[in-house]
Amino acid sequence: MKKLYSILIAACLSVTVMAQDNYKLGKPNNDNYRYLDSYENLKEYINTTKYPNFKLGAGTTANDYVSKSAYRNLINDNFTETVAGNAMKMGSVVNSNGDMNFSSVKSYVNTATAAGLNVYGHTLAWHSQQPKTWLLKLLADKPDPNGETEYAVLASKDFRTSQNIVWNSSTDQYGFSISYDATNGLKVHCTKVNPNSWDVQFVVMNNIALDVDEDYKMTITVRGSEAGTLHSKLGDWSTGAYKDIPFTTEWQDLEVNYTTVMANNFVMLQCGDFEGDVYIKSIKIEGSRVKMVKQTKQEMHDTLVYAMDKWIKGMMEACGGKVKAWDLVNEAISGGGDDGWGHYVLQHSQNYSANANPDATWDVGGDAFYWQDYMGDLEYVRQACRLARKYGPDDIVLFINDYNLESDWDNNKKLVSLIDWIRKWELDGVTRIDGIGTQMHISYYENTGTQASKKRAITNMFTLMKQSGKLVRVSEMDMGYVDINGNTLKTSALTEKQHQNMAGFYAWIINEYLRIIPPAQQWGICQWCTNDANGGWRGGEPVGIWDVDGYRKHAYAGFVSGLSGTISGIDQPQADRTIDVTAGVYNMVGQRIQASSFDELPSGIYIIGGKKVVK
């Protein structure tokens, strides 16, 4: 499979139920995991002398981190950096009216920084999980500046396809029912004549914006099982314009004229004095209004700069200068097309151009809004960078984050494309991108040829990132497992050996990062899923360092091995405390350790009798 897309579902970031100290132990009642019990917390294995800038991060569910002490302790004890999975995305903060609520962000940032963790911001500019409704409102057609008017349909509804209403009175009390079908639309079945016409009433449309004291025409397509009268109101609960609408047993398009008394209106219909069925196919309201014209490209650009300014300023103020690094732009590069320089194009909406590249669109989180459609490929990123540096702390660090940068099917072309796009964004002499984040949602492949290809591509990725001169961050790493037949395995199907294969691959990746990336360019590695997931993102797969119950997996030993500088894979560990050490005990760099017995050795990885032993 060529693409492995990133979506943040909280299921893999936190554990619903976890005992307070499970995370310090291997799986219970299984001797294969006892060696994990004596390991230190993960962050203790970071060589801060050799790698002073390296941060070990964790994808984090912000609300769980604040409210669940066991989960918070796991993060605080094992990691030096935390990244909110969803809480700091625009769609989580900005509602459909453009109002912003940063309460969760503030609580999370303050709690994490008080615990001594670095908080990494994710993400300022993205096309997914956006307040799409608000942004599209901002870009809606505007009144004609010349004041021209037009006669137009101002509101309409076809009940054959839009099978809903806003509100109705009690069906049980007043003996009626409401249903829909694709032929007749709305059906109101009245079983009796009530004392008042308003006993059976229902609001079919609302939020109809009209000018006060102006004339409007409503056309309603209606018939009845018997002849009767609909009583109508255009207004609100307090007052409005009232008209009776006689109908027959034949379909008729009946026109009713109203003079409005308010600006925000609903349409209410009443038929409590009728027994039988009333069918309504559709309703539309027409009238004169100021002619609406499209905004110019410059107006759309300026409007979105306003929206971006409001968002980034608000987020930076909410963080209070405590969040020093950010994914400035997330998942900008597509996996196809040609930008004219032999590189992939940016992601855009499908209707961005007549011959839009189908690989250029990926909406992983829903509510997609492609800022670059309106602002342009260069300006979109440049404006976000300008605003982040304007409102963020003076020492803010900005990354471009993307997936599939370790792609072996195209010789890392997506990363090569991203590096060139960074070059183009920075050509203005003002924009400065500090780092590149590679998500690395990967799998271990039992097919040796495939696995070797994946590893070569990862090595090449780190080499290219080093050559870019930018800071390098593994931003969302998690791992699945693909067996020899090409099947993606669920956690429940994995053998001990397969778990150990994954641990060895984790160790190798971390070691490659530390080997290739110079300390001055290192930002660190973030594990996206701390725990295996029951559902959601890669649901049921072995993506965590801890299992679903919060116990350490062999993957934990893989991290220890990688951080400790071990270059080989994780073999079946030996946990026998009677191991003969008389022939000598050596650490992983070949130095002999003085020990008269295995038990007196501290936790670590040793060579004893030519075999690697983990304690």
Q: What is the mean pLDDT of residues 550-556?
A: 96
Q: Tokens standing for 33?
A: 């995991």
Which positions ≥6 away from 162 have C-beta within 8 Å?
A: none
HEC assignment per residue over 109-173 = HHHHHHCCCEEEEEEEECCCCCCHHHHHHHCCCEECCCCCEEEEEEEEEECCCCCCCCEECCHHH
With beta carbons less than 8 A apart as the criterion, state whether 95 and 134 touch: yes
Q: Is residue 3 part of a domain?
A: no
The last residue of one of the domains, among 272, 293, 314, is: 293
Q: Tokens standing for 403?
A: 């997936």
pLDDT-based confidence at residue 594 (cuts at 50, 70, 90):
confident
With beta carbons less than 8 A apart as the criterion, state whether 380 and 333 touch: no
Which positions ≥6 away from 75 have C-beta within 8 Å?
A: 58, 60, 65, 82, 112, 117, 530
DSSP for 424-440 reads: HHGGGSS----EEEE--
Q: Is residue 454 part of a domain?
A: yes
pLDDT-based confidence at residue 21 (cuts at 50, 70, 90):
confident
Q: How far is CA 177 from CA 100, 172, 174, 247, 456, in A?
A: 40, 8, 9, 19, 67
Which positions ≥6 away from 480 have C-beta within 8 Å?
A: 442, 443, 444, 488, 489, 538, 541, 542, 543
pTM: 0.78
Q: Is residue 26 part of a domain?
A: no
CA nearest neighbour of 85 among 330, 312, 332: 330
With beta carbons less than 8 A apart as the criterion, state whether 604 and 613 touch: no
Same domain? For 437 and 389 the reply is yes
pLDDT-based confidence at residue 47 (cuts at 50, 70, 90):
very high
Is the confidence at residue 311, as pLDDT, over 80?
yes
Q: Is residue 366 part of a domain?
A: yes
With beta carbons less than 8 A apart as the criterion, state whether 75 and 100 touch: no
Same domain? For 79 and 194 the reply is no
CA nearest neighbour of 233 among 223, 225, 224, 243: 243
Q: Is residue 507 part of a domain?
A: yes
Q: Is residue 211 part of a domain?
A: yes
How far is residue 17's CA from residue 25's CA, in Å, rounded to a whole number? Answer: 16
Q: Is residue 584 part of a domain?
A: yes
What is the CATH number for 501? 3.20.20.80
Which letter, b or e, does each residue of 324-355 get, where b requires 16 or more Cβ atoms within 10 Å of its Cβ?
Answer: bbbbbbbbbbbbebebeeebbbbbbbeebeee
pLDDT-based confidence at residue 604 (cuts at 50, 70, 90):
low
How far is residue 555's CA from residue 36's CA, in Å, rounded to a whole number? Answer: 10
DSSP for 19-65 reads: -TTGGGSB-TT-GGGGGGGGPPPGGGG--TTT-TT-EEEEEE-HHHH
Greatest alpha-carbon pair distance for the chain in Å reads: 105
How far is residue 463's CA from residue 604's CA, in Å, rounded to a whole number? Answer: 30
Same domain? For 130 and 167 the reply is no
pLDDT-based confidence at residue 610 (cuts at 50, 70, 90):
low
Which positions ≥6 away from 600 have C-beta within 8 Å?
A: none
Same domain? For 283 and 334 the reply is no
Task: Quick: pLDDT tens for 394-406.
Answer: 999 999 999 999 9
pLDDT of 534 reads 72
Q: What is the mean pLDDT of residues 509-531?
A: 97
What is the CATH number for 150? 2.60.120.260
Same domain? For 518 and 473 the reply is yes
Task: Name residue, tokens 């459609």.
Answer: 373
Task: Quick: pLDDT tens for 167-187.
Answer: 999 999 999 999 999 999 999
Is the confidence at residue 7, as pLDDT, over 50?
no
Same domain? For 286 and 302 the reply is no
pLDDT of 20 reads 65
User: Which residue segment(s) compose the domain that 154 sits in?
Assistant: 142-293
The last residue of one of the domains, among 293, 312, 336, is: 293
Q: For all residues of the chain together, what is the average pLDDT?
A: 91
Q: Tokens standing for 13?
A: 């970031």
Q: Tokens standing for 597?
A: 């017995």
pLDDT-based confidence at residue 350 (cuts at 50, 70, 90):
confident
Same domain? For 416 and 543 the reply is yes
Task: Quick: pLDDT tens for 461-489.
Answer: 999 999 999 999 999 999 999 999 999 99
Same domain? For 288 and 308 the reply is no
Same domain? For 538 and 588 the reply is no
Task: Quick: pLDDT tens for 179-211.
Answer: 999 999 999 999 999 999 999 999 999 999 999
Same domain? For 333 and 458 the reply is yes
Q: Tokens standing for 305?
A: 């700069």
Is the confidence at residue 224, as pLDDT, over 90?
yes
DSSP for 345-406 reads: PBP--TTSSTT--GGG---SSSS---HHHHH-HHHHHHHHHHHHHHHS-TT-EEEEEES-TT
Task: Quick: pLDDT tens for 103-142.
Answer: 999 999 999 999 999 999 999 999 999 999 999 999 999 9
Same domain? For 369 and 502 the reply is yes
Backbone angles phi, psi at 70, to 5 degrees: -65, -45
The last residue of one of the domains, among 269, 293, 317, is: 293
Q: Is residue 58 part of a domain?
A: yes
Same domain? For 172 and 149 the reply is yes
Is the confidence at residue 245, as pLDDT, over 80?
yes
How far is residue 347's CA from residue 353's CA, in Å, rounded to a whole number? Answer: 12
Is the confidence at residue 355, as pLDDT, over 50?
no
Domain count along the chain: 3
Is the confidence at residue 352, as pLDDT, over 80?
no
